[in-house]
Every structure is written in structure tokens, then in C-alpha cells.
Structure 1
Amino acid sequence: MARNARSHHLTQGPQRTPNRALFRATGFTDTDFDKPVVGIANGFNTTAPCNMGLNTLAARADWALREAGAMPQRFGTIAVSGGVSMGTPGARYALVSREVVADSIETVCDGQLMDGLLAIGAGDNDIPGALMAIARLNIPAVFVHGGTMKPGHLHGRDLSIVSAIEAVGAYGAQRIDLHTLLDIERHACPGAGGGMSAANTMAAAAEALGMSLARSSTGAAEDAETADNAGASARALMRAIDLNLRPRDLLTREAFENAIALVMAIGGSTDAVLHLLAIAHAAEVPLSIDDFEAIRRKVPVLCDLKPAGRYMTTDFHRAGGVPQVLRLLLDHGLLHGDSRTISGRTLAETLAIIPGEPDPQQAVIRPWRDPVHSEGSVAVFRGNLAPGGAVAWIAGITSRSLTGPARIFDSEQAALAAILDHRIHAGDVIVIRGQGPQGGPGMCALMIVTSILVATGLGHQVGLITDGRVSSDPHSLVVGHITPEAAVGGPIALLQESDSITIDIDHQRLDVQLSEADLASRQAQWHQPAETAKPGAVLTKYAKLVSSASEGAVTR
């Protein structure tokens, strides 16, 4: 019988014969029915480079599971690339796809009574979606990262998708010509893999959570070691099935604190707040945005990584990757070393072989005594514009505060047009609202707006606030994830053109210079906008079910 009895219907009970007949059609023989049935959730597609290489990993995992005595069952999940859809209406589906991924994996694994799960993903949203499903199902599981994209090269410098985004902004600001833009575009993304944005941040977080094997989150998608890791992960999963080691044995409160500390130390994406909150919710672990702030103040930024720094994820991998950073955190009392991992060992046991100091010959991972920044990168803001909280990337921001007139926009496209038409001036605070989880629907990421602001020279001279998502950009004074969002009548919905707004980095405040009485008066006059038809059922359902960004934008 399968080792944790999920597949008992294959070997006993009145439905044994028809079930076994169907399984025989998929390749089962007489000797296979007492083996654990393990799902391989494969996010392969060719719509984006993140997921192009995943079939190779699924095949390697399938072979390793069979060798270890399991009966693997492959099935597909989806992925929507926020990078591909950026700046278009399609961007609304990126965060929504996280829920679809989680729901689809849960549906197949529970519907087929699988004994274990090996989930493979590589994109901004399918990684957390897979981890949410793993937490919900709570059957022995492991996450396999599809790998990072190797850097492109042009005129002696490394390029990435961020280079292409910035080039679009520079071209829009007439700082480069079309030939230069196309040259960067042609060389920026050479092949399969994700970037050091939300995708690689969440892959690294999965490793810190104990749900992925050590050193598995930062290898290049096209390198042999990434396929080797898929095989090793399959063998680790079989050991977990033997031990009945389940995700919620690993996904403890302490594990989430480890992941948050890691995100802060590597200078990770602001999206990590949304995603870790959502995974914790799925695991029924209490976690709030205030926990991120408490940890941020203790943890320095130790890595000089793009998009804010100098180095690529492949450089980080060669320098020691996630294990090296975790060892530094452990040695300085900022990691729960007794947290268990999918390998069966504790985090401290796993890190015992890692040097106590990073290799002095590299500059990607700094020694503790010489951090890139003294405190973590992703900060939580409060204020009368964000009573439920907001999120900003603050490491290295030189403009520490700004008070200026609000420039109100209800779409990303309208804000872009105003910037390119030179209607935005130094000292302005751009407000892009109606972009939250419910109002989007889907919470678009506004990376093109921030890139064009930088390209036009306005990055440090203006502010930008939004209830949508924002990029991890050290060149702009940007606050996102504002809650409550505009769609539910949050204070951002009450703003009027030229209201005076203050963004204060040092005190982590976001305020409009209006009294409580003024805000109450505007609130009394505010009316929920009439519901307009949303394209497709997916966005309609999402808008009705989604929670706030401060709760992880989970569907309920």
C-alpha cells in the first residue's frame, strides 16, 4: 500500500477494480499498485522564458522518482509572465495566475489522492502559487526552481530584462535612439530562466523556508546542475514520504521569519511581502506585514544584486548563493537554525559545511562588518493615506522625503502619457490608483512608469504612490501596495488634484495634509464606482473574492 495511505483505493475496497483498470491505461503494472503515487506539477510553457526549460526538469524528476520506487504522474499548470504583459491590460492577470496555479495543483493532487508532490516553477507568480498549494495540501512535497536566466552581453556589460525596461524609458525620454534600444532588446534576454526580481526572490525564499534543497534556487536554467537538482529533489521527496515529513512540519512561524530575513539580506523584491503572507495564510501560520518591518530593522542588506545593485543572480550563485547568506544570518543570531528542511536535516545542520565568511575574492556577498546597507530593503509604511499599511523599497534611496502636490491618475497609461508629455515636474507626487487587487483587478506592477521616470531624470525628483505593485528600484521615491485600496474607498480614493502629499522615508510615513475632519467629509461624499463589465470570468471572480494587499491578496 502507498506509504501514507492516500492511494489506498488502488489496493483495497469495492472500487479497486475500475480504479486499477484506469491506472493500467496510464502505465501501471501489477507491481506498481503498492507504490506511492507522486504528482509532478509542471509549469512548462513557451509563452515566457522563465518556464521554457521545465520539461527537462520534469523528465529528470520522473526518472528519479521511478528509480526510487514511486509512480510519478505528470500534469501541467499555467504561468503568466508579468514581464511579458507589463504595461498592457494583460498585466492584471499576472497576480491572478498565482491563485490559478495554487488551485489547479490542489485540485489535481486532492482529486487524484496523490501521496506526494514535486512542483516545478520559475516565474514571479507560479513559484508562490506552487508553494501555496504545497501548504494547503500538506502532503510530502518539494519545490524545484526552474533556474535563473543567464545575463545578456553588449559592449562589455551584462544585461537583463531590467536593462531592456530602462532602455524603453530612455528611448521614450529621447535619451537613446531606436538603434540603441533595439540593440539592447536583442541582447538582454539570451535564453530560458527567470530574473532577480520576484521570481528569484521567491525561489530563494523557498530555500530558506526549507521547501527546496540547499543551493538549488540560484543556478542557471540552462546549466546541467539545475536538472541534477530536479533528480536530487525527487530523491529527497521519497525520503520525506518514507518519513511522512509534511510541509506544515517545515512551514512554521520560525521558517517564515527565516525567509523574511533572507529576503531582506539579499535586497529582495517587494512582492515577497505579498507572496510570503499568502503562503503563510495557506499554511495557517499567523504572519502580518508588521513582522516584515520588525525583521527588516535587524537585518542588513548583504548582497549587491540587480535590479538595485551591480551583480546578476548567476554571480550570486558562484559567490555562494543563498546558503552563504543564511550562514551569515545564522552566525549573527538572525536565523532559527533548528527549523527543519525537506532534506530531513535542520537548517543549522545543512549550513554546517558553509564557510563562516564569504570568499574575499568576490564582491557580491559582503562580509557582515561591511554590508551594502545597514538595514533591510523592504519597508512597511503607515500614515493617513495608508492606515492598513503600504510597502516600499528603501535601501539606498538618497531622497529621504518629499512633500508635493498630488497628480492624480486612474491608469498606468494616463500617467505614462503625462510623463512623456512633460506634464510632470520636479516636486510632484504621482498618484496611480485603482490598481489594487480588487480595483485592478489583479494589482498590476508599474515598472515601466518608474523606469521612464528614471530615464527622464525625474526619478529622485518626484514621488509615486499607488495601490498597485511597484518595482524594487533605488532610483525612485515610490510607495506601493497601499491599503485600503481605492476600490474599497481607501484614503487614496479621496485624493484630489494638488492635495499636498508627504512621503517620508526615515519615518516610513505616507500622509496627505488634510485633517481627519476633511478626510471624513470626503469619505461621506465618496460612492463606490458603478461596477463595470470586466473581461472574462476570471477577473470578475477574483475581484469578488480577493483580500487586501496587506493580507497577501489571497482569495477567500
Structure 2
Amino acid sequence: MSFKPAQWPRKLRSQEWYGGTSRDAIYHRGWLRNQGYPDDLFDGRPIIGILNTWSDLTPCNGHLRELAEKVKAGVWEAGGFPVEVPVFSASENTFRPSAMMFRNLAALSIEEQIRGQPIDGCVLMVGCDKTTPSLLMAAASCDLPSIVVTGGPMLNGWFQGERVGAGTHLWRFSEAVKAGEMTQEEFVEAEAAVTRSSGTCNTMGTASTMASMAEALGMALSGNAAIPAVDSRRRVMAQLTGRRIVQMVKDDLKPSDIMTRDAFENAIRTNGAIGGSTNAVIHLLAVAGRVGLDLDLDDWDRLGRDVATIVNLQPSGEYLMEEFFYAGGLPVVLKRLGEAGLLNRDALTVSGGAIWDEVKDSVNWNEDVILPVEKALTDQGGIAVLRGNLAPDGAVLKPSAASRHLLQHRGRAVVFEDIDDYKAKIADDDLDIDETCIMVLKNCGPRGYPGMAEVGNMGLPPKVLKKGITDMIRVSDARMSGTAYGTVILHTSPEAAVGGPLAVVRTGDMIDVDVPARKLHLDISEEELTQRLEAWAPTHERAESGYLWLHQTHVQGADTGADLDFLKGCRGAPVGKDSH
């Protein structure tokens, strides 16, 4: 695809604030000049907003202040005027009840920051799980020239001679303690080894997945996704990004030019190839909704179904993001997809050129990390979308992280009404459960939790773990961490809190799971299901005020991206009336 830049020079958006000699222009310039900026910075050069999600309480993004200085250097070099803007940072590590509840609030607040301030283009500085989708959603809503630079993954963790991944080994070690295979003292000792440098999770969790999605969408420079946070090449990438955004403003190259349907198809297939997080489904559906594209769950199943998972990273495989970078990173994966006819080669990127031109010369330096197709982790690595009377609007499962022997299974339901009910019962030796059962968790969806927390990968009962069992089928309307693994069916829609069929499952019911057939069926009669649904009443806690009320009132289902209903579509970034 060839991109035709807008005619330059043209009047920039920021000149509505700073151009001319009117009282209002003098007012705006005068206040900004108190920081020591000379006159000629206001002469019509692009003002670049560096939207920074740095926060001491967002550890994944804790190094972004330093990285922002490199972005600024690049903007200055290219003739732009950089301004760093702190924005809402939804930390996966600390926010309660769930960072997911605040993704939409972050997107809303950042959208209005973009719209209401004198900037011509945006550098989206992201890392932690929700920061990438929230800033992409905001940028899509405003449609000013925008480009992503991520903070990068942390270095490999090592413990007792074993390569350990952030998140993934948290779940494994926790289960090992319950099974009596690891001491609590060893678990605590492993803490420092698992997360030993700045950066996001070093597995192919949600943060690395969303970094890969940004690159596959064409919204980041080629190679951005995998560079470790502490590698000097990450700082080079930041500086090059600063240079590039200035030219994007001059060319008027906007998110709507880049995030087309072809781009989303590339991203969906990429997610299958890398064994990416199920959270990518809900985030990309939300971003597509902001662009105004009609993307749905069936697209995820159709496009990803025959994509082999060739990236051998935890939680599906063996290695970590550091090795992925050394092997060649995402450009190698995109090249493989292109060679297999699974890449829309002409899709435009922030470079101004086609994605194929960016990746066609990539070299795979380690075929143990980026596998040949004939050695793929799984032949069908995309997201499986299951439907049936238990999930009329769909549920998702990650085949590359599931146990093959459980992909077709019939089991007795053991029901937990909410997460507190699960916590109260799971360790009870009198709980009537064994490895053939299917664990069912309700009221953990977008409205029910609220915010749809990452609790879907329920830990197994200790009495089952002690038998050496490491996986059971789990079904819920919740999410799970991208670092997690197992035969876990998630995002069941409609959720229990709005009266979806999940709400009326009872302990003892039989459930049929058939992933190859994409089936999730509650084995009761249609008449019985109707009677239960008619008798159902909500039990989840409902807010009466504040953002929680707004969220519960307006959040949509997981099957459409769990965005707020009034935020769908691109609203643009017009210059409003000056009140001064």
C-alpha cells in the first residue's frame, strides 16, 4: 500500500492555541514559556504529546520516565516540540477490584486529554497489560497521528537452575506448595528471582501479547515488541519513535489509516502464531469498536483456527521474551505468516510503508525459540470460540495452553457462585470433586466482579493436586492472566450477572466440552433451562454511585470487547472553543 501524505505545510491543530498575536494566543504561549521555551518553538512546528503511563504503582512501567527522555530527543531532532503528559495508568499489579474495570476509564480520560490539549500527534508510552489497549482505544477515538513505544519485557528469571517466567511460575509454584512439592520458604525465596529487572512480564503474557498486537497492527515500529526493557536498543527504539511521529504529523498519517480490517486480521493471526493471551480478544474487539470496524468473535475463530503456534514461549512453551528477541522477534513471525499466505502484506504501518516490506528480510536466529511449522507447539494455535446453550454469545479457550486429553470431555459441574464462594470451599477436603469434574465459576464478568478479574484459571483443589493432577476444565465468565495456562474456558457470554445461562448451572449438572467442534453444552432440557432462567434473580453486588455505577450500568459484554456503550466509534479531535 502506498500512502499519500497531506500537503505540507498546513496549519497545525496546536496553532489554534499558540499561533498569532491575539490575547488568547499570548495567554497560552505565555504560560508555557514560564518553563523556559524560546519564541521559535511556537512557530508552527508539530507539538508532540508524549502520553506516559509511568507510575511508581505500575511497576511494569516504572522505567518509562527515563525512556520518555529518549523519545523527546527524537522529537527534538526531527524538528518537533515534545511535551510529556502523565496519563491514567491502570496497573495490573495493584488496582482493585481489577485493573480491567479501569481500562475504559483510562481510555476515556486519555481520549479527553488528547482532544482537549494543544497537541498534533501522540507517542503512546505503554507496557503493563491495560495501558496498551487503553491508549490505543483513546488514540483510535481521537484519530490524531499516533505511535506506540512499549517499555519492553524484563530479563529472564532464574531459580534453582531453572528458567522461570513472571506470572507463569507464580501459578506453578503456588500449586506446587499446595501439592506438597515445594516449601513456603522456597516460594518466598523465588519471589526476587522471578521479577529481577525493569519491564513487563517476560512470558508471552498479556503485556507481551499486546506489544505484539500493536506491532502487528502496524501501530509500532518494526521490532518494537520484544526488545528487553533494560537493553540499550529499547532506548534507541524510543528515540527513533520520537523522530518518526514528527513525520507522521507532517504526513497526517492517522490511526484510521493504519488500523484497518486488514491490520486486525494480521493481528489475530499473529496472536495464534505467538500463542498469545486470551485477553487480546477482548482488547482488540474494544479497539476495533473505537475505530468503527465490525470485528467479532467469529473473526477470531475463523482467522486463527488454522494458524500454528510457532513461538516456543511460556506459558505454552519453554522460553521467555529475552530469547524471543535474540531469535529475531516478531518480524520473523510476521515473515513466516507472509510466506504462508496468512499476512495481508500491503497493510500500512506507522513507517508509512507496507508491513511486508518491514519484515521480508528478517532472519530466524534460533529455531528452538521460533519453531519450524512442522515442529509447532500446536497446529491450531488461535483462540477457540465455543458456543452452545451454556455460551450463546460465545466463550474462548487458548488451545496452545490447554491439555489435549481435555479438549473433548464430559464432566460433572462443581459450581462456585462467586470468587468468595470458591475461596471458601476449594481447600475443603470434604468438597465433592475429582479430576473428572468441571469447575464452574459465576459472577466474575464485566458487571459481576465487577471489572472481569483474572480469576478464571482457578487453582485446583489441594486433594486433586496431591494426586499428581495438574489440569482440570474450568469454565467462567472471568478472564485469566496471559501468563496462566490450563484447559480454561473464559469470557462465557452472556455473563452470569446479567442472567446468562452460566448463572443457572448447578452442582451435579453434566457439561459437554468439545473444542474441535467448538461446543459448550449444559446437558439439561431446553424446558428446564428456560424454567431456571425465568426463576433467576441477580445476586452480585451492585453499586449506587461513582465510577463503579457508571461501569456496571454501561459496560457491554466480553463478546464485544467490554467497552462502555457510549464510547464506541471514532469521535475525532476537533479544536473546541477557547474560553479565555
For the criterion TM > 0.5, the same-fold answer is: yes
Helix, strand or coil: the match of 1:503?
strand
**Structure 1 partner of 2:186:** 180
What is the aligned partner in structure 2 of residue 100 from structure 1?
A: 105
State the Cα distance separating 1:474 from its structure 2 match: 8.4
Give the counterpart letter for 1:229 in structure 2: M
2:220 alignment partner, one of 212, 215, 229: 212
- State whether structure 2 residue 562 is matched by structure 1 residue 553: yes
Judge conservation of contact 2:554–2:564 (CA < 8 Å) in 1: yes
Amino acid at match of 1:129: S
Kindly provide the CA deviation profile for residues 120-176 of structure 1, in whole angstroms up to 9, marking residues without a partner as x.
Answer: 011111011111111111111100010101111122211122212321222133321
CA drift of 1:388 comes to 0.3
Question: Structure 1: where are the runs of 5+ without partners?
Answer: none
CA distance in structure 2 between the aligned counterparts of 1:273 and 1:518, rounded to whole angstroms: 32
Secondary structure at the counterpart of residue 369 of structure 1: helix
The 3-state SS of whatever aligns with 1:493 is helix
Alpha-carbon contact 2:457-2:488 (below 8 Å) kept: no
Residues 20, 301 of structure 1: alpha-carbon distance in 2 compared, 3 angstrom cutoff: same
Question: Does residue 415 of the first structure (1) align with residue 422 of the second (2)?
Answer: yes
Alpha-carbon shift at residue 93 of structure 1 (Å): 2.8
- CA distance in 2 between counterparts of 1:240 and 1:151 reads 35
CA distance in 2, matches of 1:370, 1:527: 50
Task: State the alpha-carbon separation in 2 of the partners of residues 80 and 156 from structure 1.
Answer: 34
Q: How far is the alpha carbon of 1:257 from its aligned partner?
A: 0.3
Structure 1 pair 525–368 and aligned structure 2 pair: CA distance change class (3 A): same
CA contact (8 A) 2:443 2:540 kept: no
1:129 and 2:137 are equivalent in the alignment: no
The equivalent of 2:279 in structure 1 is: 271
Give the superposition deviation at 1:181. 1.1
TM-score normalised according to structure 1 size: 0.94
Partners of 2:319 and 2:369 within 8 A in 1 = yes
Q: Which residue of 1 aligns with 2:200?
A: 194
Q: 1:450 to 1:401 in 2, by over 3 A?
A: farther
Aligned to 1:78: 88
Displacement after TM superposition at 1:446 (Å):
1.5
8 A contact 1:429–1:464 mirrored in 2: yes
Match of 2:377 among 372, 379, 398: 372
Q: Does 1:59 align with 2:69?
A: yes
Contact 1:460 1:475 in 2 (8 A): no
Cα offset, 1:451, TM superposition? 6.9
Rounded Cα–Cα distance in structure 2 between residues aligned with 1:550 and 1:283: 17
- Counterpart of 2:188 in 1: which secondary structure? helix
Which one of 8, 14, 22 corresponds to residue 7 of structure 1? 14
Contact 1:42 1:119 survives alignment (8 Å): yes
Judge conservation of contact 2:152–2:227 (CA < 8 Å) in 1. yes
- CA-CA distance at 1:416 after TM superposition: 3.7
CA contact (8 A) 2:457 2:474 kept: no
Change (3 A) 1:319 1:31: same
Distance 1:200 1:330 in 2: 21
Contact 1:297–1:375 (CA under 8 A) maintained in structure 2:
yes
Shift of residue 475 of structure 1? 5.7
The whole-number CA distance in structure 2 between the counterparts of 1:231 and 1:550 is 38
The residue type paired with residue 482 of structure 1 is T
Q: Which residue of 2 aligns with 1:169?
A: 175
Q: Is the 8 A contact 2:220 2:350 kept in 1?
A: yes
2-side partners of 1:483 and 1:95: how far apart? 17
CA distance in 2, matches of 1:56, 1:7: 26
Cα deviations across residues 224-253 of structure 1 (Å, max 9, x unaligned)? 111111100111111111111111100000
Pick one of 549, 556, 571 that aligns with 1:540: 549
- Cα separation, 2, equivalents of 1:51 and 1:472: 18
Cα displacement string for residues 485-524 of structure 1 (whole angstroms, at most 9, x for unaligned residues): 0111000011122111122222121111111111111111
Q: In 2, Cα distance between the equivalents of 1:217 and 1:443?
A: 26
CA gap of 1:451–1:68, structure 2 versus 1, over 3 A, is farther
Aligned residue in 2 for 1:484: 494
**Residue among 345, 362, 370 paired with 2:353:** 345
Residue 429 of structure 1 deviates from its aligned partner by 1.4
Distance, in Å, in 1 between the alignment partners of 2:471 and 2:205 is: 24
Matching residue within 40, 61, 83 for 1:31 = 40
Local SS of the residue matching 2:289: helix
Please say if residues 106 and 133 of structure 1, whose CA atoms lie closer than 8 Å, have aligned partners that are also in contact. Answer: yes
Alignment check: 8 A CA contact 1:165 1:448 kept: no
Secondary structure, counterpart of 1:104 in structure 2: helix
- Cα gap change, 1:473 to 1:244, in 2 (>3 Å): closer
Q: In the superposition, relative to structure 1, how do residues 440 and 530 fare at CA in structure 2: closer, same or farther (>3 Å)?
A: closer
The alpha-carbon deviation at position 192 of structure 1 amounts to: 1.2
Question: 3-state SS of the aligned residue for 2:125?
Answer: strand
Whether the 8 Å CA contact 2:71–2:239 is kept in 1: the answer is yes
Higher mean alpha-carbon deviation, 417-426 vs 485-494, is at: 417-426
Q: Aligned equivalents of 1:179 and 1:497: distance in 2?
A: 36
Matched position secondary structure for 2:311: coil
Return the alpha-carbon distance in structure 1 between the equivalents of residues 540 and 474 of structure 2: 27
1:501 is matched with which residue? 511
Taking a change above 3 Å as real, the CA distance of residues 174 and 444 of structure 1, as seen in their structure-2 partners, is same
**Separation in 2 of the partners of 1:117 and 1:95?**
23
User: Do the aligned partners of 2:48 and 2:121 also contact (CA within 8 Å) in 1?
Assistant: yes
Instruction: Identify the residue that residue 145 of structure 2 maps to in structure 1.
Output: 140
User: In 2, distance between residues paired with 1:31 and 1:545?
Assistant: 46
Q: Structure 2 unaligned runs (5+)?
A: 1-7, 566-580
Show CA shifts across 1:300-341 (max 9, x none): 111111112101011111111100000010011100110111
Give the letter aligned to residue 183 of structure 1.
E
Across the aligned residues of Structure 1 and Structure 2, the Cα RMSD in angstroms comes to 2.1
Write the distance in 1 (CA, Å) between the matches of 2:90 and 2:483.
23
Shift of 1:292: 0.5
Give the CA deviation at 1:452: 6.8
CA distance in 2, matches of 1:447, 1:487: 15
User: What is the distance in 1 between the residues matched to 2:194 and 2:495?
Assistant: 35
Q: Deviation at 1:447?
A: 6.1
CA distance in 2, matches of 1:509, 1:530: 27
Residues in 2 aligned to 1:168 and 1:475: alpha-carbon distance in whole angstroms: 13
Comparing 298-307 with 465-474, greater Cα deviation is found at 465-474
Q: Deviations over 1:76-106 (max 9, x none)?
A: 1233333x35xxxx55331122223222221
Q: Which residue of structure 1 aligns with residue 437 of structure 2?
A: 428
Matched residue SS, 1:388: strand
- Residues 472 and 100 of structure 1: CA distance in aligned 2, closer, same or farther (over 3 Å): closer
More divergent stretch after superposition (156-165 vs 377-386): 156-165
TM-score (norm: length of structure 2): 0.90
Q: Hey, what does 1:152 align to over in structure 2?
A: 157
Instruction: Give the SS at the match of 1:248.
Output: helix
| Deviation of the 1:456 alpha carbon | 4.9
Percent identity over the alignment?
32
| Contact 2:157/2:164 (8 A) holds in 1 | yes
Q: Give the number of aligned pairs.
A: 547
- Contact 1:173–1:452 (CA<8 Å) still a contact in 2? no
1: distance between equivalents of 2:442 and 2:456? 15
Between 1 and 2, higher relative CO (CA 8 Å, sep ≥ 6) is seen in 2
Offset at 1:477? Answer: 2.4
Distance across 2 between alignment mates of 1:397 and 1:382:
20
CA distance in 1, matches of 2:295, 2:254: 20
SS of structure 1 residue aligned to 2:122: strand
